[in-house]
């Protein structure tokens, strides 16, 4: 991101301008006084609100004059998304703060997209307030009164599976929380025009929130870093993109294409992911042997029996998933040591991998404060350790974890579960700008080095957005666990989000009683990657083979 945004840099001088640029159904007007307006389908949808920022424990704002515009300019350039025209503005806080900001509005020529960038030229301190707000307001959009002819939709919560839909009006709250509200889609009543608004950098530290202008009384929607962040370093860049399309699905696909192109996400990882292309045997919640070995003494015996039965029944399982039952946990159920207990696998996971020939997708959760890997506990690696969780902060840790697991027991896919809990349990992930991005990027970089891919589980939308920078992340859970009555079949809404970002949408397991009467197990668990593996077609082929 820094390389791309670096191309937008220019020496600013004060230039008077009023310009209008149109691409597709999107039209952007920018003015030298720092304001802008956006029209969609020939109608004005948004005009800019005030620019503001927290520093030294208070707000500095264009609204009250404590943040002053000192220069403006324009330029043109080209990045991997295509050619653009940019409008630049310099801002200076007045009084006790010496903070200066640079904001840009960049309109692209080959796609209906606008990139808004805010650069902190100086360090901002004592910035934190409410976790569900932002510590700056650029860009911000006035939510105007008038006939309600638009609505909005956004995603939130565990697995990003809760879709929020409502009217676009100053009288209607816009969902905003650390667990969601991003991306935000605004659409017209006839579904002919829509725009997607979302962060375009450091997704784990970004947020959106609504503000009331104390001078005009207007309500505005603003984007910026999470307001729980305690300080912003000099040179920090945060950005937001607005992409237009013809309806919700089309605009989401356009939005996803913008981010994937911007970050050059290599989708060949998803296309070649072994677990997306073949059936696998799963043992997570809802499966026959989830924390239960039935009549067997341990999981080694269970999986030996599963393999033998699959061979007899000619079921083409090609890989194995092992869930959270196999590794050591601390007193609060975080991961103490990501190795197999002898009571679970008496001869190690490698014995099962060798006998079956199946590569393994392995589950993991958040790290315990007492994890053996942290230097604070006698381990070898740098961790942030807090009372409820810990977090590795050096890439060498992931190299160690992935290389040893792949070499010893054929790890193929790393399943990072409990992503939301990692953030809620570890204050540093909420208070430190860039930390969440670093954590996930280090994990992804190591996975790429060792030929692994990653599945995200229990993500919030911000985790899914962050995956555009990490080609190794190929898939994400989009449903709750497989248990009756929890609506885990309702996957269409979140599939739009996952697919737009280049992720295979994983629905979780199914428990199916097979047609084969000789099957010694009560059930076989099949993994379903939505749109990639059709269980229906597989069962139909089995029926036909049995009849003939």
Q: Does 467 share its domain with 427?
A: yes
Q: Does 247 share its domain with 392?
A: no
Q: 446, 473, 500 — which closes off a domain?
A: 473
Instruction: Say if residues 212 and 244 touch (Cβ distance below 8 Å).
Output: no
CA-based nearest residue to 105, from 203, 33, 25, 205 = 33
Instruction: Say if residues 273 and 413 touch (Cβ distance below 8 Å).
Output: yes
CATH number of the domain within which 356 lies: 3.20.20.70
pLDDT given for residue 489 in this prediction? 80
17: pLDDT strictly greater than 90: no
Buried b (16+ CB within 10 A) or exposed e, 217-242: ebbbbbbbbbbbbebbeeebbbbbbb
Distance CA 158, CA 422 (A): 12
Q: Does 103 share its domain with 68?
A: yes
Is 447 strand, coil or helix?
A: helix
pLDDT given for residue 459 in this prediction? 98
CA distances from 30 to 5, 323, 473 (A): 19, 53, 37
Non-local CB neighbours of 81 within 8 Å, separated by 6+ positions: 108, 110, 111, 113, 258, 261, 262
Answer whether residue 522 is part of any domain.
no
Strand stretches in 259-308, DSSP E: 280-281
Q: 262, 292, 324 — which closes off a domain?
A: 262
Instruction: Say if residues 136 and 238 touch (Cβ distance below 8 Å).
Output: yes
103: pLDDT strictly greater than 90: yes
Domains in the chain, number: 2
Give per-residue pLDDT as tens, 131-189: 689 999 999 999 988 767 899 999 999 999 999 999 999 999 999 999 999 999 999 99
Q: 408, 439, 473 — which closes off a domain?
A: 473
411: pLDDT strictly greater than 80: yes
Alpha-carbon dihedral 249, 253, 255, 261, rounded to 10 degrees: 180
Answer whether residue 257 is part of any domain.
yes
Strand stretches in 399-512, DSSP E: 411-416, 453-456, 473-477, 504-512
pLDDT given for residue 513 in this prediction? 40
Give per-residue pLDDT as tens, 30-77: 999 999 999 999 999 999 999 999 999 999 999 999 999 999 999 999
pLDDT given for residue 4 in this prediction? 55
Q: What mean pLDDT is reported for the chain?
A: 89
Instruction: Say if residues 151 and 254 touch (Cβ distance below 8 Å).
Output: no
Q: Does 144 share its domain with 252?
A: yes
pLDDT given for residue 511 in this prediction? 60
CA-based nearest residue to 482, from 264, 283, 287 = 287
Going by their DSSP bridges, the two strands 504-512 and 473-477 should be labelled as parallel
348: pLDDT strictly greater than 80: yes
CA-based nearest residue to 58, from 96, 92, 100 = 96
* Dihedral over Cα of 368, 370, 374, 379: its sign: negative
Answer whether residue 533 is part of any domain.
no
Answer whether residue 499 is part of any domain.
no
Q: Does 180 share its domain with 85?
A: yes
490: pLDDT strictly greater than 60: yes
Alpha-carbon dihedral 495, 500, 501, 505, rounded to 10 degrees: 20
Distance CA 198, CA 204 (A): 12
CATH number of the domain within which 83 lies: 2.70.98
**How many other CB atoms are there within 10 angstroms of residue 505's CB atom?**
22
Q: Between these two residues, 520 and 506, which has the higher pLDDT value?
A: 506
Non-local CB neighbours of 377 within 8 Å, separated by 6+ positions: 370, 371, 385
512: pLDDT strictly greater than 60: no
Distance CA 499, CA 380 (A): 38
Q: Does 99 share its domain with 166?
A: yes
- Structural domain harbouring 60: 2-262
* Dihedral over Cα of 368, 370, 374, 376: its sign: positive
β-sheet with 113-120: strand ranges across:
67-79, 82-93, 100-108, 113-120, 237-245, 194-199, 180-188, 150-156, 162-167
Q: Does 249 share its domain with 323?
A: no
Non-local CB neighbours of 275 within 8 Å, separated by 6+ positions: 319, 361, 412, 413, 453, 455, 475, 527, 529
Distance CA 293, CA 299 (A): 6
**How many other CB atoms are there within 10 angstroms of residue 454's CB atom?**
26
Answer whether residue 548 is part of any domain.
no
Q: Does 108 share its domain with 134?
A: yes
CA-based nearest residue to 437, from 399, 405, 463 = 463
Q: Does 401 share its domain with 427?
A: yes
Q: Does 121 share its domain with 21?
A: yes
Q: Does 145 share its domain with 36?
A: yes
CA-based nearest residue to 169, from 189, 147, 190, 154 = 147
Q: Does 257 share its domain with 373?
A: no
Answer whether residue 112 is part of any domain.
yes
Its pTM stands at: 0.91
Answer whether residue 56 is part of any domain.
yes
């Amino acid at each position: 991101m820094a390389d791309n945004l670096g191309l937008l840099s220019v020496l600013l001088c004060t230039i008077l301008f009023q310009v209008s640029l149109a691409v597709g159904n999107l039209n952007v007007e920018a003015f030298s006084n720092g304001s802008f307006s956006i029209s969609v389908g020939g109608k004005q949808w948004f005009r800019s609100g005030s620019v503001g920022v927290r520093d030294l424990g208070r707000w500095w704002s264009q609204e009250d004059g404590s943040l002053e515009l000192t220069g403006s300019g324009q330029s043109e350039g080209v990045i991997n998304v295509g050619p653009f025209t940019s409008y630049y503005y310099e801002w200076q806080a007045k009084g006790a703060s010496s903070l200066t900001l640079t904001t840009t509005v960049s309109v692209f020529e080959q796609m209906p997209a606008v990139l808004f960038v805010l650069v902190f030229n100086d360090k901002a301190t004592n910035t934190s307030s409410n976790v569900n707000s932002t510590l700056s307001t650029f860009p911000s959009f006035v939510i105007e009164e008038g006939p309600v002819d638009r609505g909005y939709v956004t995603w939130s919560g565990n697995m990003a599976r809760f879709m929020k839909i409502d009217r676009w009006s100053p009288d209607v709250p816009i969902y905003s929380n650390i667990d969601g509200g991003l991306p935000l889609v605004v659409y017209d009543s006839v579904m002919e025009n829509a725009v997607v608004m979302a962060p375009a950098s450091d997704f784990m530290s970004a947020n959106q929130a609504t503000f009331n202008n104390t001078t005009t009384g207007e309500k505005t929607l603003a984007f910026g870093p999470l307001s729980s962040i305690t300080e912003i370093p000099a040179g920090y860049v945060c950005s937001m993109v607005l992409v237009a399309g013809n309806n919700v699905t089309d605009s989401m696909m356009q939005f996803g294409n913008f981010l994937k192109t911007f970050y050059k996400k290599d989708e060949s990882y998803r296309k070649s992911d072994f677990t997306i292309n073949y059936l696998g045997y799963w043992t997570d919640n809802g499966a026959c042997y989830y924390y239960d070995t039935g009549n067997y003494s341990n999981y080694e015996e269970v999986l030996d029996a599963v393999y033998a039965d699959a061979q007899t029944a000619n079921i083409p399982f090609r890989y194995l998933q092992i869930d959270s039952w196999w590794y050591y946990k601390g007193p609060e159920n975080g991961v103490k040591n990501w190795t197999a207990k002898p009571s679970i696998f008496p001869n190690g996971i490698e014995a099962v991998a060798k006998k079956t020939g199946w590569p393994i997708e392995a589950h993991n959760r958040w790290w315990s404060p007492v994890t053996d890997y942290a230097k604070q506990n006698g381990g070898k690696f740098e961790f942030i350790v807090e009372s409820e969780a810990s977090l590795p902060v050096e890439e060498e840790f992931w190299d160690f974890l992935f290389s040893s697991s792949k070499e010893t027991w054929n790890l193929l896919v790393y399943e990072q579960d409990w992503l939301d809990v990692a953030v809620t349990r570890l204050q540093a992930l909420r208070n430190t700008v860039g930390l969440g991005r670093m954590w996930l990027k280090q994990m992804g970089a190591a996975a790429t080095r060792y030929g692994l891919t990653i599945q995200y589980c229990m993500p919030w939308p911000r985790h899914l957005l962050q995956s555009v920078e990490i080609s190794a992340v190929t898939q994400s859970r989009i449903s709750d666990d497989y248990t009756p009555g929890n609506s885990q079949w309702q996957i269409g809404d979140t599939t739009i989000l996952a697919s737009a970002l280049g992720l295979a949408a994983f629905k979780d397991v199914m428990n199916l009683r097979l047609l084969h009467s000789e099957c010694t197990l009560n059930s076989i668990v099949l993994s379903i990657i939505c749109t990639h593996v059709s269980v229906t077609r597989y069962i139909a082929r089995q029926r036909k083979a049995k009849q003939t």
